[in-house]
Structures are given as C-alpha cells and as structure tokens.
Amino acid sequence: MSDLYAAYGSNLSHAQMRQRCPGAEPAGGLSLPGWRLVLRRYARIEPDPAATCPVGLWRVTPAHLAVLDRHEGVPQVYERRRLALPDGRAAWIYLERVDRPGPPAPGYVERLRHGYRDFGFDPAALEAALARGG
C-alpha cells in the first residue's frame, strides 16, 4: 500500500530519499498554490494566497512515513498533515511547528538545488526564498 508524500525541502533530493527511504518512488511534481517557500535554517512553507511552491511527490509506504517522521522530528519540530493537491489527489506534507532562524548551511542549500534539478523545477522559487531570508 502506498501513499503520496509532498516534499519541498531537502527531501526533493533523490539521493537523500534513496538513503532515507529505500524503495520510495518519485511520482512527479506540481506547483502548490497558496503556499510560499521560506528558508531559514531549513526550508519551510507558509500560507500565501499570492504564491505557489513547487513540491515533489513521492510514493511512500507507512514504513517510509515512520522513518520520515523520525527525521523530521514529529511532533515536536514538524507535524505531518494531509494536504489536498490541485489535481484532486491528497498527499502527506510536513509543516514546521518551530521557527528555527537561518541562514541555512551551504551543504543544505546545495541539496535543495540538487532536488530542484532532480524534479526538473525552475529554481526561481528557491532562489527567491534564498534572497528573502536564506
């Protein structure tokens, strides 16, 4: 049984996800309306009716979600929520509960850039988030 997980940060990186969740499969990407990518120490998304945020979709199992929950620090640092996608499907997404000021580490930024390339995203949203606060 598989579910969709929507990644917007370092879990866009195919190499990182292969390490964290062997067997998870990329399932395409889309733009999530009403959300804006923000970079502090780590990537987060915040509601913004005028924005869109690229997300990479992964097919994951309950075991993968348990691993991701541990990596993301659920429930203290992130919460995992179901989110309606613009194409009518739903996906799990992690929303940060704790504001961790930046800037992000250079290696983290490089993983984000790799993830954007892995999914074929225009890097404009990432570069704008870096310019605003990363």
Q: 9 a known binding residue?
A: yes
Q: Is 74 exposed, middle or buried (0-12, 13-18, 19+ CB in 10 A)?
A: middle
Q: 34 a known binding residue?
A: no
**Cβ–Cβ contacts within 10 Å for residue 54, how many?**
24
Which strands sit side by side in the sheet containing 25-39, from one edge to the other?
Answer: 25-39, 43-60, 3-7, 90-96, 78-84
Q: 116 a known binding residue?
A: no
Q: 102 a known binding residue?
A: no
**Cβ–Cβ contacts within 10 Å for residue 61, how many?**
14
Residue numbering of the annotated binding site for substrate = 5-10
Residue numbering of the annotated binding site = 5-10
